[in-house]
A and B are shown apart, each in its own frame.
Chain A
């Protein structure tokens, strides 16, 4: 049922990834040093302002909400002030219905470039990455209203995974005075379909992280 994956399409994607990597290395020839790592808990709001949350069809402000586990690393690039910031987030508590018939989980993998905001504890970041969503069901049947009576509908029984590229931008920083500055707050927006006027969707990620170590 999946579309035929043409070799040249996979090659195009591979070349895009290699091209972005080469561009990064070209622009920033110095190797990144002084890595530090954070682990945290966060919030994910998907499809902000778009998804229906009420009987009227009106959208909720924060879209579909989930909680996330977050990891990120920051490595300064050769004393330039810029830093590389690969990060990931995923939703360990799947969204599901009361019958637990469907599991939905989301993963975000991103590779950002960041810059500190002057002498403050804050920095801004932007980059690109992948959003992976898995949906799986346990199968079975359910009786639901249908017209003037009820009918039997099927619950999904297999797994499906979507993979979309996205752009993200965020701001974050150590919370001054708290736990020796090892507590960090990050706010990120994630845009899927950034260059498509009809498919563009916005997600919001917020994370409170604990710095595990490093020289930053």
Chain B
């Protein structure tokens, strides 16, 4: 059963908020970049906003943007994916607990620190009593949220659903992930993130809210035809072929493959090999040099692919080869996290 992308709200390290199509790219020359935030006042009252960390404000603003974009005022379900949850508040509470020897701790930081605060704050804001869930599974948290949404649609439990990928990258957590080798030591320009033969990537953050519906109309970006989330694969290419066959397709049917490459020379190997072996004559693109890497960056990937389909174009700075064509009927989105978790998403034009 296909489900339709009717609206998207995207806050990222690019000027993506309340923009139609692809904004002019911003290139960075440092390994840690924070979001370009909108003014949150139109979306959140001062009384609510005073407690909220960036990740929650962004989630609400992007959710409201997806509502405005789609014209769907009240989703039947709200499902979020987040790798770290409300890490800023977690750090505040944790640091205070350690520094003050478990005394005089502030409840607000604890309350706001739980991962499901994002989904529930959106629900409180919209007064939405529908199905509400939060997935916290590293680099495929967004895809897990999307999986559950598709299950609910297939079971006729919902007609609409708001699915989001939300993560903030605090300076402290950037430091922690730097210790375990996630980031590049320096970046000449993020435009060429995949050119240096080194490990590590660009640290970003973001908030993507996608409004889905079981009905399409003139607002529709694209259809999500199928999604698979897999754990510990023997062979990525076999999995891709099997996935396509299960959905009545072969590699020949794919017009554009969007890869979750992030410039880490080791992690990107698997994408390059699959692209070369299966999609040599197809348009290939990537997006993480725009979004930066964070646990739910695949949400940005979905925004990217959906816009490619809706506006029938591939920005030149995202093309990995010269096979770009005008309109894309079938698009395959591939992502992996630490070569342990994999996601494959099949989109099509309506």
Same complex: no
- Residue numbers of A with Cβ under 8 A of B are none
- Residue numbers of B with Cβ under 8 A of A are none
